[in-house]
C-alpha cells in the first residue's frame, strides 16, 4: 500500500530549567537520560512510521528544549526520520538562544543533517521582560543565535514573541518587533501569555503585575499592525510570515490534516483517529503503545481549526471534504457577527477579523 503524506512531530522532553509559564511535559536535562531517550527515538521512529504507513513531508522537533540535546544527538534523530521523509521535507527544530550563544550549538551540523527551519524561543527582545519570564539568555544572545544559524545557511528562522507579559508596554513591544525585522528572520509567532494551572506563574498569580484585558487587546492589535508594516503577514491568530515562509507543519494542525506525534505527551491524528503517548518518558522508552483519544476530523472540529486561519473556512474546500454544504444557520450567525466587526462572510468563505480573533473562543462556540 502506498504511504500517505503526513506531518511528523518529535517531542524532546528536556530543559535546562523550567520556564515559569510553561505547562508542557518536560524534565531537567540529564546527559545519560538524554542518551537513553535518543536511542529510544532512533529505535521507535522508523517502527511507528511503518506502522502508520506515512511519508513525512514535514518534521517538527519540539519540546521541552530540543537544542539542549546538542547537534550530534539531534542529527541522529533527524537521520532516523529521513529514512521515510519526502525530499522536499520542511524540517524544523526548536532552539533556545542560550544553547546557541552559550553552548555553541553546531548549526552547520544541523544543516547537514537536514534542518532547514529554526524556531527560536525569544519571547521578548527586552531583557527585563525576558528575566521576568525566566529566560536564561539576553537580547544579544538572541542576535548571536540568529546570526550563527544564518551563517550556517539556515535562513528560514522564526522567533517567538510573547504578548501581555509582566512589564510589557506598547513601546517595548514595538522595539521587540523592530528587533525581529532587523534580525532578518522570516517568521514571527506572537501569542498572548496564558497563566496555566500547574506552572510557577499560576502558583504566584496573585503577585504578578499583568496588563488588563483592554491593554492585552491593545498589545495584540499593535503586534498585528506593526508586524504587517514590517512585511510579516498574518496567516493565523498568532502567526505571521513573509510570503512563502508560513510554517508548513503547523498548517497541518490548523488544516485538520494528518500528523504523527512521537514521544511522551505527543499527540497524533491518523486515519480519522486521535491518539497520544502518556506524559511518561520511562513508559515511552519501554515501548508503550499510544492511548486512543477517539475520532477526529469532524466538521465542527474542522471549522474550529480553520477559523484560526486568516483565510478561514472556504466553502468549496469544506464541501469537497465533507460532501455537504456549510449549514445555513451557521452562515446566518456569521452574518450577524460581521455586523459587529468580528467576522467576514462573503458567500465563498467565513473568517474572523482581528477583533474576532480576540474573542475567537466565544464566536466559535456560538457557531458550533
Determine the Cα–Cα distance for residues 14 and 30; give it in Å rounded to an integer: 8
Q: What's the Rg (C-alpha) of the chain?
A: 21
Decide if 96 is inside a domain. Answer: yes
Can you list the residues of the chain whose pLDDT is less than 50? none
Decide if 285 is inside a domain. Answer: no
Decide if 280 is inside a domain. Answer: no
Answer for the pair 145, 93: CB distance below 8 angstroms, yes or no.
no
- Pair 36, 154 in one domain: yes
The CATH number linked to 326 is: 1.10.10.920
- Pair 73, 144 in one domain: yes
Element (H, E) at 141: helix 139-151
- Pair 200, 305 in one domain: no
- Pair 111, 247 in one domain: yes
The CATH number linked to 64 is: 3.20.20.70
pLDDT given for residue 240 in this prediction? 98
- Pair 25, 166 in one domain: yes
Cell numbers 462572510 correspond to what residue? 345
- Pair 172, 304 in one domain: no
Decide if 224 is inside a domain. Answer: yes
- Pair 227, 352 in one domain: no
- Pair 155, 18 in one domain: yes
pLDDT given for residue 1 in this prediction? 66
Decide if 41 is inside a domain. Answer: yes
- Pair 312, 225 in one domain: no
| Domain-ending residue, one of 253, 284, 309 | 253
- Pair 168, 68 in one domain: yes
Q: What is the DSSP string of 274-337?
A: EEE--S-HHHHHTTPPPEEEEE---HHHHHHHHTTBTT-EEHHHHHHHHSSPPPHHHHHHHHHH
Q: How many domains are contained in the chain?
A: 2
Per DSSP, 207 falls in state G
pLDDT given for residue 207 in this prediction? 83
pTM equals: 0.95
Domain membership of residue 212 as a residue range: 4-253
- Pair 233, 324 in one domain: no
Amino acid at each position: 500500500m502506498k504511504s500517505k503524506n503526513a506531518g511528523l512531530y518529535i517531542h524532546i522532553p528536556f530543559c535546562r530549567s523550567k520556564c515559569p509559564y510553561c505547562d508542557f511535559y518536560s524534565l531537567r536535562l540529564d546527559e545519560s537520560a538524554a542518551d537513553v531517550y535518543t536511542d529510544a527515538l532512533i529505535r521507535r521512529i522508523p517502527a511507528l512510521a511503518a506502522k502508520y504507513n506515512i511519508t513525512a513531508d514535514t518534521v517538527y522537533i519540539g519540546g521541552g528544549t530540543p537544542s539542549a540535546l546538542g547537534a550530534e544527538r539531534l542529527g541522529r534523530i533527524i537521520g532516523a526520520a529521513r529514512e521515510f521523509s519526502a525530499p522536499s521535507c520542511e524540517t524544523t527544530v526548536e532552539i533556545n538562544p542560550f544553547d546557541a550563544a552559550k553552548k555553541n550549538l553546531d548549526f552547520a551540523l544541523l544543516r547537514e543533517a537536514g534542518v532547514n527551519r529554526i524556531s527560536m524561543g525569544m519571547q521578548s527582545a527586552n531583557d527585563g521582560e525576558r528575566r521576568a519570564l525566566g529566560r536564561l539568555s539576553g537580547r544579544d544572545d538572541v542576535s548571536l543565535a540568529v546570526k550563527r544559524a544564518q551563517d550556517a545557511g539556515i535562513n528560514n528562522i522564526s522567533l517567538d514573541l510573547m504578548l501581555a507579559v509582566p512589564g510589557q508596554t506598547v513601546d517595548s513591544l514595538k522595539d521587540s518587533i523592530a528587533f525581529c525585522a532587523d534580525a532578518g528572520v522570516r517568521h514571527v509567532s506572537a501569542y498572548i501569555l496564558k497563566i496555566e494551572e500547574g506552572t510557577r506563574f499560576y502558583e504566584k498569580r496573585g503577585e504578578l503585575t499583568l496588563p488588563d484585558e483592554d491593554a492585552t487587546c491593545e498589545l495584540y492589535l499593535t503586534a498585528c499592525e506593526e508586524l504587517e508594516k514590517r512585511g510579516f503577514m498574518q496567516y493565523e491568530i498568532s502567526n505571521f510570515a513573509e510570503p512563502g515562509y508560513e510554517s508548513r507543519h503547523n498548517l497541518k494542525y490548523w488544516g485538520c490534516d494528518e500528523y504523527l506525534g512521537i514521544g511522551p505527551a505527543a499527540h497524533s491524528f491518523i486515519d480519522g483517529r486521535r491518539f497520544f503517548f502518556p506524559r511518561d518518558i520511562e513508559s515511552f522508552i519501554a515501548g508503550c503503545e499510544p492511548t486512543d483519544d477517539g475520532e477526529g476530523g469532524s466538521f465542527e472540529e474542522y471549522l474550529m481549526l480553520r477559523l484560526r486561519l486568516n483565510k478561514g473556512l472556504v466553502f468549496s474546500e469544506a464541501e469537497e471534504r465533507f460532501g455537504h454544504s456549510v449549514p445555513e444557520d451557521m452562515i446566518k450567525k456569521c452574518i450577524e457577527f460581521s455586523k459587529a466587526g468580528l467576522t467576514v462572510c462573503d458567500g465563498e468563505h467565513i473568517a474572523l477579523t482581528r477583533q474576532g480573533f480576540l474573542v475567537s473562543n466565544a464566536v466559535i462556540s456560538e457557531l458550533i
